[in-house]
Amino acid sequence: MARRRLPKPGFRFALALRLRKLNYWLIARAAMAAMALLRHLPTDTALNFADRMARRLGPLVGRHRVALDNLRQAYPEKSQAEIEAIASDMWGNMARLAAEYIFLDRLFDYDPNAATPGRIEVKGAENFLRIAGEARPHILFTGHLGNFELLPVAAATFGMKITALFRPPNNPYLADYIQSTRSATMGNLQPSSTGASFALASILDEGGNVGVLVDQKFSRGVETTFFGRRCLSNPVLGMLARHYDCDVYPARCVRLPGNRFRLEVEDRLELPRDGSGNVDVRATTQLLADVVERWIRDDPGQWMWFHKRWQISGHPRKLRG
């Protein structure tokens, strides 16, 4: 009996890549078709519809179990009903964030001279203006809260030139679409790929400003605690602040009822320093985690609980100096 030939490993690998590429393309086409349909609806109708659908579909995906487990460990005092309610709010927030990409030009209506506020209100406008007016580098940081994408738009409104570090989606087709949408309204963008820290350093070298998201897992990060649990966090902000001794400002977006937003730039942080007077990178990284945790506790449904934030798969980074 003749032996059946098996495909060569190289063929199987190439086939898997093609299938993955096809899957990415199909998902991207479906997502863009859905967004095109939403674009024809009134803004509030589209955003509210996206929220309702996500609250129904979110509990059906595997990441929902990750979110529930994270919430139980973060809030052991809460009942199961309370945990489920936060997870539901999270899915609603995520859907609104996705849908809001196609309405950014309609949503951002901030006018400091308006008699009544529109969809956007700003708290800490004096800090926006101070940063924009100072001819030296600054670092702003935020977390995945509310519609964090509105912060660079606000910065541009105040005349602040800022380069935002962002992580592109794994789906290359969606990544291209989202980056083109972001670039049209948010100014300079820097993908969080290899060499990103050097790119940010060159911007600070020239006296520019950078914006960084600090609440994601980083497998080669430094050990911190977040909601009382060990995790690894990216020390790049602390390292840049130490090298350039520049001011660091917390900034966040708070989602308000009625599809409105409050953008906040808090006062400059007093960064912890070592015995030599230099910025303590490890302590600064922990301080950033503490700030983001405070924000999340204000409204936990506005954060992305389905991230495997506390999964430690690498080795903690050893800092020198």
DSSP 21-71: HHHHHHHHHHHHHHHHHHHTS-HHHHHHHHHHHHHHHGGGSTHHHHHHHHH
Crossing angle of helices 196-205/236-244, nearest 10°?
A: 30
pLDDT in tens, 138-196: 999 999 999 998 998 888 888 888 887 766 666 776 666 666 665 555 556 665 655 67
Residue 123 included in any domain: yes
144 lies in the same domain as 270: yes
Residue 200 included in any domain: yes
Number of domains in the chain: 2
Domain assignment present for residue 218? The answer is yes
pLDDT for the residue 19? 78
pLDDT band at 267 (very low <50, low <70, confident <90, very high): very high
Q: What angle do CA 240, 243, 245 make, to 5 degrees?
A: 90
Same domain, 148 and 88: no
Domain check: are 59 and 125 in the same one?
Answer: no
Which of 102, 127, 153 is at the close of a domain? 102
Among 9-23, 130-144, 173-187, 305-319, where is mean pLDDT lowest? Answer: 173-187
Looking at the structure, do residues 35 and 159 belong to the same domain, yes or no?
A: no
Residues 139, 208 share a domain: yes
Categorize the per-residue pLDDT at 278 as very low, low, confident or very high, splitting at 50, 70 and 90: very high
Neighbours of 23 (CB within 10 A): 11
Token output for 144: 């995945």
pLDDT given at position 126: 95
Residue span of the structural domain in which 185 resides: 117-302
CA 22 centroid distance within chain:
27
Closest to 253 measured CA to CA, from 144, 159, 174 = 144
Is 315 inside any structural domain? no
Instruction: Please state the rounded mean pLDDT for residues 248-274.
Output: 96
Single residue among 40, 68, 102 that ends a domain in this structure: 102
In this structure, the answer to whether residues 139 and 285 fall within a common structural domain is yes
Q: What angle do CA 218, 128, 224 make, to 5 degrees?
A: 20
Residue 280 lies in a domain: yes
How much is the pTM? 0.85
**Domain shared by 241 and 202, yes or no:** yes
Same domain (yes/no): 82, 129: no
Residue 121 shares a structural domain with residue 74: no
If asked whether residues 96 and 130 sit together in one domain, one would say no
Evaluate whether residue 28 is within a structural domain.
Answer: yes
Residue 297 and residue 225 share a domain: yes
Q: Which two tokens stand for residue 216?
A: 């994601």
- Quick check: is 108 in a domain? no
Residues 82 and 130 grouped into a single domain: no
User: Quick one: which of 88, 30, 83, 103 has its CA closest to 54?
Assistant: 88
Tell me whether residue 3 is in a domain: no
Neighbours of 273 (CB within 10 A): 14
Side chain identity at 187, as an amino acid letter? Answer: G
